[in-house]
Amino acid sequence: MLPFGATQRSAMNMRAWIIVPLLGGTLLRAQGDLPKHSPGESLDFEPKLMLDGPHASLEAPGAPLDSLPGEHPEERVKQLESNLLRAEQRAADSEQLYKDGILAKVEVEDRQLRVVKARKELADANLAVAAAHADAVKKSFDAHTTVQAEMNAANASLKTARDAAASASAEWDKGQLDAAAIDLKRKRRLYAEGVGSRREVEMAEDRLALLSGTLAQ
């Protein structure tokens, strides 16, 4: 008779020999469930995403968009410039990934919207830097340590940054409304086809109405 410890090890080994083939079979079946399509074929999947989540972080992998406590405004601008480049690259890659059946249509739309958001955040950060600079120049001007030309240049830069921030904010508002409208249209289509629920349609309608009211204020 085998010792008790040897019996346990034998049982564990037996379970391992059973589990490994089962896992292998599961992986093979999962691979077989991947969509088959012709090169360049456009696919409009209603499932939100096959590999990433529908709300995958814009900066993954990478640093978050929000500045860290005590972060200098110029450092935040550099970080946001990097975030924007990553967002634009992810959006550029998404079309081919969509055609290859790797991303869902909704994820392509999400990545495009994240570019608009990243541009707004960068424009806001640039405005904060320009405002701080203009304020510093004004104090120097009031103290008679700088000239009118520098004051004029700082104010001109501030106006340019303010206009850019307003434009980026308007684009972000429009992007959110467009995304909510597309989502509502998709929910209604699914409901009409018997796939979605009436509750999902109502939630999408409420989301669009709430967003429209908030942005109109």
In terms of pLDDT, which residue wins out, 94 or 41? Answer: 94
Q: Does pTM surpass 0.75?
A: no
Question: Is the confidence at residue 21, as pLDDT, over 90?
Answer: no
Burial class from Cβ neighbours inside 10 Å (0-12, 13-18, 19+) for residue 131 reads middle
Sort residue 98 into left (φ over 0), alpha (ψ -120 to 50) or beta: alpha
pLDDT band, residue 26 (cuts 50/70/90): very low
In terms of pLDDT, which residue wins out, 189 or 58? Answer: 189
The residue-averaged pLDDT of 25-44 equals: 38
The residue-averaged pLDDT of 10-31 equals: 40
For 160-211, the pLDDT digits (tens) are 999 999 999 999 999 999 999 999 999 999 999 999 999 999 999 999 999 9
Question: Is the confidence at residue 115, as pLDDT, over 50?
Answer: yes
Give the C-alpha separation, 128 to 122, whole Å.
10
